[in-house]
Structure 1
Amino acid sequence: MAYETIKVEIADRRATLTLNRPESANTLNLLMMQELADCFEFLKDNPEVQILVIKGEGKVFSAGGDIKMMLTSADPVDFEIVMGYLSRMMLAFYQLPMVTIAQIHGAAAGLGFSIALGCDVIVAEEKSKLAMNFIGVGLVPDGGGHFFMKERVGVPKAKQMIWQGSIMEPSEALEAGLIDYIAEENEVEAMVDQLVGKFLSSPILAVLETKAILHSQKISELQNVLKLEAEAQKRMRKTEDHLEGIKAFIEKRTQQFKGK
């Protein structure tokens, strides 16, 4: 399949998906969400693939949702389309019958971090930055961010980390249980390749059965979280705090939130 915003390579039971908008820090616009949804649905029905590695082209994994898209999609119809693709994308992703590995370098923030957290295994380069930073623009996490954070660290810690929206070093994220491995600078690809080799030389059909059993119990919960996130995001986008957060981001200044 031909894509504009992502690249997909499949060989020897492994698929490598590259987020490919390096000029925009691999932020997710509507087209990338649509293409990711299509790609995950395609892979979901491809029994030849047993490992999926997700990485970013250029200097970062993904800086999250496209801020320009937020500014130009004030139309409620456009917003419904965005959230529809996002739900399709993450539901198909969560049900992939393969081991998914996030290969993070540079930064994984916002929606980009939600996608990484949805992976079975997360490897981050030692100098990367990690952030569930929706709060900085007056929004709640989407892309299943609430669900994946809670699955990783539990409800109390997930709430606190979402509310703080801090930019984390990999060592802090590892200690909290948000990621699984830290790679030395320029070694993240080599570490991921080693993990892929271990998985492919294991009885991987049993590995995938375990994933299917555990994930099947959670699909309805993820569906509900995605629905609630979309509803909450729609409300938050109408707040003064959200508009202030966007303006402050663009103007590179500290936000002045008023709780409105």
Structure 2
Amino acid sequence: MPDAPVLLTEDADGVRTLTLNRPWRKNAIDHELWLTLADTLRHTATDRSVRAVVITGAGGAFCSGADISAPDNNHPVYRMRELTDVALLLHELPMPTVAKVRGVAVGAGWNLALGCDLVVATPEARFSQIFVRRGLSLDLGGSWLLPKLVGLQQAKRLALLAETLDGDQARELGLVTWVVPEDEIDTYVSDLAGRLAAGPPIALAQTKALLNAGADHTLREALAGEATAQGLNFATADAPEALAAFAEKREAQFTGRWTVHRPAMPGRENSEKTRGTDA
């Protein structure tokens, strides 16, 4: 129900399980959940009782991405900062992380899973870099994660075509670590997280940091570029058009038209009223 906590936290035997809890929206992440998730990750990073973290979703879905239908009057720069905080906190979390994926993991939801160290999914899970269907570009670290996981060409395929993959197809590309039957995934992840929690915490933290640093040092630059691009996307007609088309169950008509109203120059008020904003 909408009055329930948007993020459930459960601790057991050194494993902290974070459950996105907006099942009526397939766990799409709104402003409140972004802030709650960031705050929880921030506190988890310094909690020595936590040895491993599992991220999952309630109601048979992992996460359907950022909730673009939720009212949010914040400037896009501030909205993107919320995503940036979560991506960096998850990436820099010292303990191992596991994404347990049932159902959909699309857009920022898929990149949230990819930001974890290991991904366990069911064969029925569905993955998509859905951004272009919404008139948007990659975010939550997708432009940094995908090329490193699958190579540049496959990353472009996934991002430009927004194809939907099942669990087995995602595993074949190296985007899922294990595919486990639906009736076995809870036990499998519990055992996996328990093994990680039982490991040497400092060595695991150092190993994770070394692997992350060895891959690249430019995540902050990638996230800054994504935030800039996403701000530009929100200033076009395509993002609201995609939302309207989704609500009306029709194909979106993308134009790339610029919708930000420019201030009128002194003495040119009348001409500005008749000028379009396609430039």
Correspondence for 2:135 among 95, 113, 138: 138
Kindly indicate whether the alpha-carbon contact (under 8 Å) linking 2:128 and 2:158 is maintained by their aligned counterparts in 1: no
Equivalent position SS for 2:8: strand
| Structure 1 CA distance for aligned equivalents of residues 138 and 115 of structure 2 | 13
| Structure 1 CA distance for aligned equivalents of residues 118 and 197 of structure 2 | 14
Which ranges of 4 or more aligned residues in structure 1 deviate by more than 6 Å? none
1:221-253 Cα deviation digits (max 9, x unpaired): 111111111100011112233232222111112
| Structure 2 CA distance for aligned equivalents of residues 57 and 32 of structure 1 | 13
**Cα offset, 1:4, TM superposition:** 2.9
**Structure 1 residue 109 and structure 2 residue 106: aligned?**
yes
**Cα offset, 1:258, TM superposition:** 3.6
| Structure 1 CA distance for aligned equivalents of residues 45 and 206 of structure 2 | 14
Q: Which amino acid aligns with 2:118?
A: V
| Structure 1 CA distance for aligned equivalents of residues 49 and 210 of structure 2 | 20
| Structure 2 CA distance for aligned equivalents of residues 135 and 189 of structure 1 | 33
In percent, how many aligned pairs have the same letter?
33
**Structure 1 residue 239 and structure 2 residue 236: aligned?**
yes
2:51 aligns with 50
Q: Which amino acid aligns with 2:192?
A: L
**Structure 1 gap segments, 5+ residues each:** none
**Structure 1 residue 119 and structure 2 residue 120: aligned?**
no
2:160 aligns with 163
**Mapping for residues 67-216 of structure 1, pairs under 5 Å:** 67-69=68-70, 72-73=71-72, 75=73, 77-203=74-200, 205-216=202-213
Q: Which amino acid aligns with 1:90?
A: A
TM-score normalised by L of structure 1: 0.91
1:14 aligns with 15
TM-score normalised by L of structure 2: 0.85
| Structure 2 CA distance for aligned equivalents of residues 24 and 191 of structure 1 | 26
Task: Determine which structure has more spread, i.e. the larger CA radius of gyration.
Answer: 2
| Structure 1 CA distance for aligned equivalents of residues 61 and 137 of structure 2 | 22
Q: Which amino acid aligns with 1:104?
A: V
Equivalent position SS for 1:158: helix
**Structure 1 residue 4 and structure 2 residue 1: aligned?**
no
Q: Which amino acid aligns with 1:84?
A: R
**Cα offset, 1:212, TM superposition:** 1.4
Equivalent position SS for 1:52: strand
**Cα offset, 1:58, TM superposition:** 0.8
| Structure 2 CA distance for aligned equivalents of residues 220 and 40 of structure 1 | 21
Equivalent position SS for 1:123: strand
1:159-189 Cα deviation digits (max 9, x unpaired): 2211111111111111111111111123211
Equivalent position SS for 2:182: coil
What number of residue pairs does the alignment pair up? Answer: 254
| Structure 1 CA distance for aligned equivalents of residues 6 and 156 of structure 2 | 32
| Structure 1 CA distance for aligned equivalents of residues 176 and 113 of structure 2 | 9
Kindly indicate whether the alpha-carbon contact (under 8 Å) linking 2:128 and 2:165 is maintained by their aligned counterparts in 1: yes
Equivalent position SS for 2:175: coil
Equivalent position SS for 1:53: strand
**Cα offset, 1:194, TM superposition:** 2.1
Kindly indicate whether the alpha-carbon contact (under 8 Å) linking 1:125 and 1:186 is maintained by their aligned counterparts in 2: no
| Structure 2 CA distance for aligned equivalents of residues 148 and 169 of structure 1 | 19
Equivalent position SS for 1:186: helix
| Structure 2 CA distance for aligned equivalents of residues 23 and 219 of structure 1 | 37
Kindly indicate whether the alpha-carbon contact (under 8 Å) linking 2:13 and 2:194 is maintained by their aligned counterparts in 1: no
